[in-house]
Amino acid sequence: MEWTTPSAVLDPLQTHTTEVNWRVHVLASPDRRWRGRILQLGPQGCVLGRAPAGAHDAQIDDALLSRSHLELRPGPRADLLDVRDLGSRNGTFRCAQRVSTATVGHDTVLRLGSTVALVEADLGSARVYDHPTQEVPGRSRAARCIREALDHAAPGDAPVLIQGPTGSGKEYAVQELYRRSGRRGPIVYVSAPALAENAFETEFLGQHSADPSQGVQDLLPAAAGGLLVLDEIAELRPTHQARLLRLLDSGNQRAAGSAAELPPHTRFVATTNADLEDRIQEGRFRRDLLARLRTYVVTLPPLRARRADLLDWADVLVPLQHPQLTNWSMALAPDALEALLLHDWPENLRELRVVLQGLKTQLQAAPLPLRALPPQLRDGKSWQRPGGASPALTPEADVLRRLLARHYGNVATLARHFGRDRRQIYRWLDQAGIGDEELATYRRGE
């Protein structure tokens, strides 16, 4: 499956019924007061500059800014923002292209003077989870929603499914889930591809044992009181998925046909970079197993869908010990940071780590210029988006629930409403925590 960010704008119903708050993430600036700060944009808009006159304007001490440099105002639709350069000497750049006026959307990168910012259309959810953590850094809407989902999943012993593209940080999400759960036992990782390919299968599912669960009994006690994590569960052989389902259903009673059961207070966590609904359609994954795993679903978007968090992730993945340049916001020249933000990051955090490790070896006393970046980042090929379109926000859970109630749980109707494939609607339902049981209540008109 290819994980993508929707290219359409926000649904009109959503923008008319849900308040959209625009936030400006100031990611880098010579003005230390603003570096890493978030500007909340009110309905009256805001002027950014070295000495703007308005009470709601942002004064940024950047020598390359004009006194009144750039005006930001809510656009003609709730999902759009109007940008107007106020005749500045050094110009305003949207996605590395100089503009005088422009209408922009969610996750647009702006550079003015030596200041680099990103505008975010925020539906105001998960504000209580605004504080970054080591495992889930960043203050974007996506980061807050991830922390919210992990916090809701942390109590109890029900299974958790963590899904996202390769390199999106699923191992960090597991660590955050563990920390929030307050568990004392260890985290035990098992690779589903390894189970399917070699004799380690015996250690987990006991395929070749006289007792089908003999290997399980050897492995499961090690995870007592902690997490048992099955990586890449989509690669588990269909013939073994039934045994895993019986194990998850064992509870305090031994599963039928098996002598194995999860130790008390042991949490089962599955991760996947594949779309399990697609695997079900292909006949490669059991729907009843997915239903069992959907008690809690945590969806991690690709890095390109949470660009505002890139510098926070950089400081986690490759910390700097430089005496003057102590973080990546200070270590990159404005145009170099702009290029990093505009790259599509097909390999996500893994690719970011490799790039940063290479840049770290070049770091001296001055910020790294654009020419220090690898060619695939500085040539701008991945910056281009047709028509300058920017990705849309995923509909909020309350919007989805309202539409489901209105249309009696008809997913096909929602797909037509949003102009999306039904599989995308199911992904949104998973992300919103709307499972099969809740869907059935809407279909019954309850």
Whether residue 69 lies inside any domain: the answer is no
Q: Which of 248, 281, 299 is the last residue of a domain?
A: 299
Picking from 299, 323, 347, the residue at the C-terminal end of a domain is 299
Secondary structure class of 25 (helix, strand, coil): strand
Residue 66 lies in a domain: no
CB atoms closer than 10 angstroms to residue 117: 27
- Residue at which a domain ends, from 299, 323, 343: 299
For 212-263, what is each residue's pLDDT tens digit?
A: 333 444 556 666 788 989 999 998 887 788 888 888 876 533 433 444 566 6
Cα 148 to the center of its chain, rounded Å: 12
> What value does the mean pLDDT take over residues 319-339?
93
Answer yes or no: is 412 within a domain. yes
Share of the chain above pLDDT 90, in %: 50
Question: Could you tell me which of 390, 420, 421, 402 has the C-alpha nearest to residue 106?
Answer: 390
| CATH number for 178 | 3.40.50.300
In a domain, 245, yes or no: yes
Query: Residue 309 carries which side chain, given as an amino acid letter?
Result: D
The tens digit of pLDDT for each residue in 134-173 reads 999 999 999 999 999 999 999 988 999 999 999 999 999 9
pLDDT digits (tens, 9 = 90+) for 422-440: 777 887 888 888 888 888 8
**Which amino acid belongs to residue 333?**
A
Domain that holds residue 412: 397-443
Joined together, the tokens standing for residue 206 give 């006991």
- Tell me the C-alpha distance between 292 and 289, whole Å: 5
Q: E strand or H helix at 361, and its extent?
A: none
Q: What's the rounded Cα separation, in Å, for the pair 30 and 106?
A: 25
- Domain-located, residue 60: no
In the predicted structure, residue 329 carries a pLDDT above the cut 90: yes
pLDDT recorded at residue 442: 86
Number of domains in the chain: 2
| Integer CA distances (angstroms), 9 to 6, 235, 379, 394, in order | 8, 34, 27, 10
Same domain, 152 and 284: yes
Q: How far, in Å, are 109, 113, 114, 385, 446 from residue 331 at the CA level?
A: 18, 17, 13, 28, 56
Residue 12 within a domain = no
Distance CA 200, CA 186 (A): 20
How far is 296 from 160, CA to CA, in rounded Å?
5
